[in-house]
Structure 1
């Protein structure tokens, strides 16, 4: 009886070995047919190449994302510079339209005084009843060039032309070149 069991066990082991060999042969011949069909060295080689390609694509994607971020920051800086230049352009255009009033005659060698005058009533709604209509621009300092001999004469001429009783006030009075007033033409 033990003999029969041992022979059955040996037969089972032999059959399982033959089945393993047959399965291994089927897998080997299947791999070879796939390699012949696709021209590949092996499935493992193909998977290795695909993994390498995937890693290369991920590295390239990360590098491109970094480049896009740098270009985006550069673009934002260019837009900021453009906006700043647009503001400077608008300011320069508006500065060219600024009216400079003049009292006296421009004479070469004579001193020029630059006065900044505003009207206190403009924009407050407290304009007294008078026959004079005052422009809204007088709420901001207006530049007046005064061509006289002294500062006292300049102040007197400005106050004569723009009387304090109508709300005009001299904020600043400088000799041309000592303040931030405009350059006057000589001649």
Structure 2
């Protein structure tokens, strides 16, 4: 277990999180997560009652942070077995089972959504373009709607351009670049 991963704010502030064993995942640093949630709070106002997805979830830290701040439900998706174990362990330790769903699959294998989510958090492997591909597909399948806020973390030197999406804001923090996106519809 990697040391130092904690919930930044809310109901579970300061609680430790388990990171997946091995080095196939790169957990979002606490400071980067704090910056991201500050950016989101200034746009959303509150996380109360939101339906959230944490995609390429790793430890689940992003989705658990949203739950700690009042989100109603979070769908965690990752295909790495070590990540799934860490996510389930973190959910159990925080007693968040009733507000969480974990799926061990590729983000790209998701089928059509019943309704759009309020917030989609993506932290794919840097330099792969997987986040842009996932966002495009999720919009076509109804997971992302006009009211959905989207957070995409990339490496600091990556740019993001997804047809039909507008970058609301972007901020560099450490080695990461945080993009907040909104869907404008198909162009």
Q: How would you bin the TM-score normalised by the shorter chain? A: under 0.3
More helix by share: 1
Q: Which has the higher contact order (CA 8 A, sep 6+)?
A: 1
TM-score by length of 1: 0.22
TM-score by length of 2: 0.22
